[in-house]
Structure 1
Amino acid sequence: MTAPARRLCHIAFHVPTGQPLARDLQHLFGFQPLAAREAGGWRQLALRSGDAVFLVNEGSGPGEPLYGLNPCHSVPSATNLCFDVDDAGGVARALAARGCRVPVPPVSVWDAQGAASYAVVSSPAGNLSLTLLDRAGYRGPFLPGFTPVSSAPGPGWVSHVDHLTLACTSGSSPTLRRWFHDCLGFRHLPLSLGEDPELGLEVAAGSGRGGLRLTALQTPPGSVVPTLVLAESLPGTTSKQDQVEQFLTRHKGPGLQHAGLYTPNIMEATEGMVVAGGQLLTPPEAYYQQPGKEEQILAAGHKPSLLARQGILLDGDNDKFLLQVFTKSLFAEGTFFLELIQRQGATGFGQDNIRALWQSVQEEAARAQEA
């Protein structure tokens, strides 16, 4: 365990000039501008909702955007996770000694509010890089080099990032799990009793549609880092239209498929986003007619008709429940979406909801082909 990550600082995106991600995050999903920077052909805007911070890097400057790496990727995507660590320079050198590629060696940045140091490490997960940041000596609202942006308080729909899901090529999860363990201190988080870390949780989609293998990872107690979920298609999957295979094709390789944003009130958040113009995936009609689903929803203290109207999924038992809703892709290329999640005691990810998401993606793809 080389570099225990202490906190997720932000998720960074790279988009071409004029792509509306920053605008959509603010107007559709309740994020508020936090800090901005323009230099070297890049426009960088940090937006916040609760403790969730997204950094949108817009442009294609000749150099690297501050705190990141220009991946020169062919489609817009989430390209970087920035983690707080105790000693960015020391950690970067230790990872380089392990054979990790460090495209941005340790560098220090400062302004009137203090200083920070960082390095950028390439991960084995496609175009996803990791920024290792030490900002213990910084007092500003975001990071040195950025100008704070004043904005009205946001709607408060989101409190923090609950989890991050990487879409991986089939069979790669064990290698990725070991890499994140050795380099950043992530440990296997069982999603089922007696789960083998090498196998993860297998979720069959049913009716010959294949399925998913999910492997969850978490950092040790005391850190504030979202759960990392590795998702890959099960061997033998015949359909190339499942959510992971679709992502790998459209994204042209592995990467960050979605961010799960925790909300204390999923009904309010979902309604607010829909009213603002946000587009959500529609669950399959049969989801709410499953045997026992109405009783399950009532046991969790919710009204089945209200959940069905807003497309909210619910899973769980023994007084531990999970509510989820998924947006459509934030990019026309289908390379990133958001999930809203509310936990009522549940710590994992509902298998019925995973199957429902699977079918929703299938149906959305079919509608797009017919349009």
Structure 2
Amino acid sequence: MAAPARRLCHIAFHVPAGQPLARDLQRLFGFQPLAARAAGGWRQLALRSGRAVFLVNEGAGAPEPLYGLDPRHPVPSAANLCFEVADAGAAARALAAKGCCVPVPPVRVQDALGAATYAVVSSPAGNLSLTLLERTDYRGPFLPGFRPLPSTAGRGWFSHVDHLTLACTRGSSPSLLRWFQDCLGFHHLPLSPGEDPELGFEVTAGSGQGGLRLTALQTPPGSAVPTLVLAESLPGAAGGLDQVQQFLAQHGGPGLQHVGLYTPNIIEATEGVTLAGGQLLTPPKAYYQRPGKESQILAAGHEPDQLALQGILLDGDQGKFLLQVFTKSLFAEGTFFLELIQRQGATGFGQGNIQALWQSVEEQAARGQEAGAGSHLS
């Protein structure tokens, strides 16, 4: 374990000039501007909802943008995860000693509010890079080099990032799991009892129809790092590309496929996003007609008709439930979406929930209703 991650600081996106991600995060999802910077051909805007911070890097300057790396990816992408570490310099040296590529060695930056040190490490997950940040000496609202923006009364639908899901090439999950274990201190989080970390949790779509393998990782108790989920296709899919393969094809390889944003009130958040013009996936009616689904929703204290109207998925038992709804892609290429999630006692991703979600989205995709929406599991 070379550089144990303490918390997720922000998720950085690289988009071309004029791409509306920053506007959409504010207008559709209630994010509020936090800090901004413009230099070297880049416009950088940090936005916040609760503890969830997104940094939108817009443009394509000659040097790398501050606190990130410009991968010159062919499509807009969630390209960087910034983790806080105890000592950025020591972490970068330790990762380099393990053979990791460190394209941005430790850099110290400061302004009137203090100083911070960061380094950027390449990950084995496609174009995704990792910023290792040490900022205990910084007193500002975001990071040195950024101009703080006036805070406004936001809608506050989301409190933090619940999980991050990477779409991976087939067979790569075990090596990715080992890399995140050895380099950042993650460990395997079983999604079902007795799960083999080399095999993950398999969701099959039927005989000869392929399916999905999910492998979840988390950091030790006490850290503030979201669960990391690795998603890859199982062999045997018929009738064209499955959901993960569609992401890989449109994105041009592995990458961060979606972010789960936690909301304490998913009904209110879903209604707010919809009224603002956000586009959410609508599960097939068959999802809510599954045997036992109505009684399950009622046991969780919700109305089946209301969840169906808003497209909210629910699963769980023994008084512990998970509610989820998914947006359509925030990029025209169909390579990134958001998940709104509320937990009523559930701490993981239950087996029944994953199976039902996979099947319902596959049914929907087969009917051609949500072209380009990407994979919407976990």
Give the TM-score category using the shorter length: over 0.9
Structure 2 CA distance for aligned equivalents of residues 52 and 359 of structure 1: 32
- Number of the residue aligned with 2:80: 80
SS of 2:257's equivalent in the other structure is: strand
Alpha carbons of 1:334 and 1:368: their partners in 2 closer, same or farther (altered >3 Å)? closer
Q: Offset of 1:207 from its aligned partner? A: 6.8
Whether the 8 Å CA contact 1:210–1:239 is kept in 2: the answer is no
- Number of the residue aligned with 1:244: 244
Residues 43-64 of structure 1 deviation map (CA, whole Å, 9 limit, x = unaligned): 0000000000000000000000
Structure 2 CA distance for aligned equivalents of residues 25 and 366 of structure 1: 21
Q: TM-score, normalised by structure 1?
A: 0.97
Q: Offset of 1:204 from its aligned partner? A: 1.5
2:325 maps to 1:325: yes
SS of 1:157's equivalent in the other structure is: coil
- Number of the residue aligned with 1:355: 359
Alpha carbons of 1:360 and 1:5: their partners in 2 closer, same or farther (altered >3 Å)? farther
Alpha carbons of 1:107 and 1:362: their partners in 2 closer, same or farther (altered >3 Å)? farther
SS of 1:306's equivalent in the other structure is: helix
Unaligned runs of 5+ in 2: 374-378
SS of 1:281's equivalent in the other structure is: coil
Structure 2 CA distance for aligned equivalents of residues 311 and 77 of structure 1: 26
Structure 2 CA distance for aligned equivalents of residues 362 and 337 of structure 1: 20
What are the equivalent positions in structure 2 for 1:271-290 lying under 5 Å apart? 271-290=271-290
What are the equivalent positions in structure 2 for 1:120-269 lying under 5 Å apart? 120-206=120-206, 208-269=208-269
**Counterpart residue type for residue 342 of structure 1:** Q
Unaligned runs of 5+ in 1: none
2:77 maps to 1:71: no
What are the equivalent positions in structure 2 for 1:332-347 lying under 5 Å apart? 332-347=332-347
**Counterpart residue type for residue 320 of structure 2:** K
Whether the 8 Å CA contact 1:243–1:362 is kept in 2: the answer is no
- Number of the residue aligned with 1:12: 12
Residues 104-153 of structure 1 deviation map (CA, whole Å, 9 limit, x = unaligned): 00000000000000000000000000000000100000000000111312
Structure 2 CA distance for aligned equivalents of residues 166 and 368 of structure 1: 17
Structure 2 CA distance for aligned equivalents of residues 366 and 149 of structure 1: 37
Q: Offset of 1:363 from its aligned partner? A: 4.2
Q: Offset of 1:368 from its aligned partner? A: 6.8
Residues 60-90 of structure 1 deviation map (CA, whole Å, 9 limit, x = unaligned): 0000000000000000010000000000011
Whether the 8 Å CA contact 2:333–2:372 is kept in 1: the answer is no
**Counterpart residue type for residue 291 of structure 1:** P
SS of 2:250's equivalent in the other structure is: helix
SS of 2:248's equivalent in the other structure is: helix
Alpha carbons of 1:337 and 1:364: their partners in 2 closer, same or farther (altered >3 Å)? farther
Whether the 8 Å CA contact 2:16–2:59 is kept in 1: the answer is yes
- Number of the residue aligned with 2:30: 30
Whether the 8 Å CA contact 2:208–2:236 is kept in 1: the answer is no
- Number of the residue aligned with 1:21: 21
Structure 1 CA distance for aligned equivalents of residues 135 and 252 of structure 2: 34
- Number of the residue aligned with 2:376: none
Which one is further off, 355-364 or 96-105? Answer: 355-364
2:299 maps to 1:295: no
- Number of the residue aligned with 2:305: 305
Structure 2 CA distance for aligned equivalents of residues 191 and 161 of structure 1: 19
Q: Offset of 1:285 from its aligned partner? A: 1.8
Structure 1 CA distance for aligned equivalents of residues 157 and 370 of structure 2: 31
Whether the 8 Å CA contact 2:119–2:131 is kept in 1: the answer is yes
Alpha carbons of 1:366 and 1:33: their partners in 2 closer, same or farther (altered >3 Å)? closer
Q: Offset of 1:284 from its aligned partner? A: 1.4
Alpha carbons of 1:333 and 1:106: their partners in 2 closer, same or farther (altered >3 Å)? same
SS of 2:358's equivalent in the other structure is: helix
**Counterpart residue type for residue 25 of structure 1:** L
SS of 2:202's equivalent in the other structure is: strand
**Counterpart residue type for residue 133 of structure 1:** L
Alpha carbons of 1:363 and 1:108: their partners in 2 closer, same or farther (altered >3 Å)? farther
Structure 1 CA distance for aligned equivalents of residues 207 and 45 of structure 2: 45
**Counterpart residue type for residue 58 of structure 2:** E
**Counterpart residue type for residue 356 of structure 1:** S
Q: Offset of 1:210 from its aligned partner? A: 1.9
Whether the 8 Å CA contact 2:187–2:218 is kept in 1: the answer is yes
**Counterpart residue type for residue 357 of structure 1:** V
Whether the 8 Å CA contact 1:281–1:360 is kept in 2: the answer is no
Whether the 8 Å CA contact 2:250–2:334 is kept in 1: the answer is yes
* Identity between Structure 1 and Structure 2 (%): 77
Q: Offset of 1:206 from its aligned partner? A: 3.6
Alpha carbons of 1:286 and 1:198: their partners in 2 closer, same or farther (altered >3 Å)? same
Q: Offset of 1:209 from its aligned partner? A: 3.5
Whether the 8 Å CA contact 1:102–1:120 is kept in 2: the answer is yes
Structure 2 CA distance for aligned equivalents of residues 241 and 314 of structure 1: 27
Structure 2 CA distance for aligned equivalents of residues 34 and 366 of structure 1: 33
